[in-house]
Amino acid sequence: MRTYKYVHLLEYIPVRYSATIEQKAARQTVFDFKDGYCSESVKQRLTNMVKTIMRADTSRDWRVCFIPASSSIRTIRRYSRIAPYIHQQTGCPCDISTISTINDTEPGHYGVKPSNPAANFKIKADDVKGVNIILIDDVITRGNTFAQTANKLIANGANDVIGLFLAKTVHPQIACNYA
């Protein structure tokens, strides 16, 4: 499987672990983002990272896409405010419907995620053909959904995909074992 570069802004400690005040604040930021609320500082940080990624290679055309939530309604709630903000601040095409769910499902945290969530995604090939994609999502844990979605974007004509995540899951007991 091809590997893709990605960046994240925060560390997310799952709720089953105790957390410091700062870690709880980061957790709440993730929950808020999932519910469609994005503070000005988070919008600025995401937008600044989009600009940084685009500046790294100005010779290419870029497009911002979003990994869909488990349902169309959740996707709209999560991204409908941040997408126009990123577009306005960067000038980069940014559309929440470039990648969409075929069938609404239960959120992954309610049960077992499918082995290939991207199989349930429909890509507008005309939107991605010949461009580089900055693929935004809320949290990256193992990276499976990101890699499978990136592969599907490449199969639909995208040149390259870079992930941008609000947070990366950190498991305290694993970190302690390697510290």
**Is 1 domain-assigned?**
no
Our CA angle for 129, 134, 137, nearest 5°, is 120
**Three-class DSSP category at 119:** helix
Return d(Cα 168, Cα 161) in angstroms, integer: 18
Count how many domains the chain has: 1
Which region holds residue 77: left if phi is over 0, alpha if psi is between -120 and 50, else beta? alpha
Strand partners, 101: 121
Q: The domain that contains 77 carries what CATH number?
A: 3.40.50.2020
What is the span of the domain harbouring residue 84?
A: 6-178
**Is 70 domain-assigned?**
yes
Summarize pLDDT for 79-93 with one digit per residue, the tens.
999 999 999 999 999
Return d(Cα 151, Cα 162) in angstroms, integer: 11
**Is 82 domain-assigned?**
yes
**Is 88 domain-assigned?**
yes
Which residues of 13-147 form beta strands (DSSP E)?
62-66, 99-101, 121-123, 132-140
pTM for this model (two decimals):
0.91
By percentage, how much of the chain surpasses pLDDT 70?
A: 92
pLDDT of residue 176: 43
Q: Which residues of the chain have pLDDT under 70?
A: 1, 107-113, 173-179
Summarize pLDDT for 126-141 with one digit per residue, the tens.
999 999 999 999 999 9
**Is 155 domain-assigned?**
yes
- Which amino acid, residue 102? I
Both tokens of 148, joined, read 């499978």
Q: Chain-wide mean pLDDT for the chain?
A: 91
Span between the terminal Cα atoms of the chain, in Å: 29
**Is 89 domain-assigned?**
yes
**Is 125 domain-assigned?**
yes
